[in-house]
């Protein structure tokens, strides 16, 4: 995982954030272009960190995996309704969506046919508005949420400006605490100077995720797409 995260970081960045749509919000029988066309204003996955909710408006690099959504409806005759509907494969649909949502970002995508198995002992916390295959329903199902046997899932690792707020907030929280009162903290072998140095490194790392950071290398980053 560490090496995989390294492939998504550059310009001094070392951290990526995990995002997921669990389940991926899809109506039964709808195609991937139809689903993503309904999310042009905001991406359909959420930050998994406990940090406060933030809208994803841009990113530097990302890797996305979609499971359980791969069958396409037969193309309708005539002009495609959108650029997404003109794509020939689910992978191309995702890449076109990323190009629209995050222009200039380095993006990789993988589409797997197998959905996520949610039969016991998987936690049964699903809404009654899900079918047994994890697709959205117009009305509640007649069986319990334990009847959800599988779900489509989208998961992403993303290097984005959201991490600036998360890392700088962590740095502020640590500075606000008087660690000298925690004898066990330094008894474990941590030196005060080392702790302060780590805080400075954390602050510097957070600045790497500010918009405009490394602008001189923006063309090089865009070329990596």
* Backbone φ, ψ for residue 62 (5° rounding): -160, 155
SS3 203: helix
H or E stretch at 200: helix 192-207
**pTM of the model as a whole:** 0.77
CA angle 65, 66, 69 (to 5 degrees): 165
Q: With a cut of 50, which residues of the chain have pLDDT below it?
A: 74, 215-225
Q: What was the pLDDT predicted at 143?
A: 60
Q: How far is CA 57 from CA 40, 43, 136, 157, in A?
A: 11, 9, 26, 15
* Contact (Cβ atoms closer than 8 angstroms) between residue 58 and residue 161: yes
**Residue range 17-59, pLDDT digits in tens:** 899 999 999 988 888 999 999 898 888 888 887 766 566 678 8
Contact indicator for 135, 26 with CB cutoff of 8 Å: yes
pLDDT of residue 192: 79
Are residues 31 and 73 in contact, defined by beta-carbon separation less than 8 angstroms?
yes
């Amino acid at each position: 995982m560490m090496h995989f995260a390294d492939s998504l970081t550059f310009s001094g960045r070392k951290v990526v954030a995990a995002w997921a749509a669990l389940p991926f919000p899809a109506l039964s029988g709808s195609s991937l272009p139809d689903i993503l066309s309904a999310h042009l204003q905001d991406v359909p996955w959420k930050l998994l960190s406990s940090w406060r909710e933030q809208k994803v408006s841009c990113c530097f690099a990302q890797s996305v995996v979609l499971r359980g959504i791969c069958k396409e409806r037969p193309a309708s005759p005539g002009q495609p309704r959108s650029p997404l509907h003109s794509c020939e494969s689910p992978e191309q649909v995702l890449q076109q969506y990323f190009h629209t949502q995050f222009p200039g970002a380095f993006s990789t995508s993988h589409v797997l046919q197998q959905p996520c198995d949610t039969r016991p002992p998987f936690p049964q916390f699903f809404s009654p508005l899900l079918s047994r295959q994890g697709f959205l329903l117009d009305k509640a199902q007649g069986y319990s949420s334990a009847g959800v046997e599988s779900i489509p899932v989208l998961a992403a690792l993303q290097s984005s400006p959201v991490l600036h707020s998360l890392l700088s907030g962590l740095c502020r929280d640590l500075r606000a605490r008087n660690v000298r009162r925690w004898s066990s903290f330094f008894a474990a072998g941590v030196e005060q100077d080392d702790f302060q140095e780590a805080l400075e490194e954390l602050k510097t790392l957070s600045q790497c995720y500010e918009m405009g950071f490394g602008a001189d290398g923006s063309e090089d980053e865009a070329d990596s797409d």
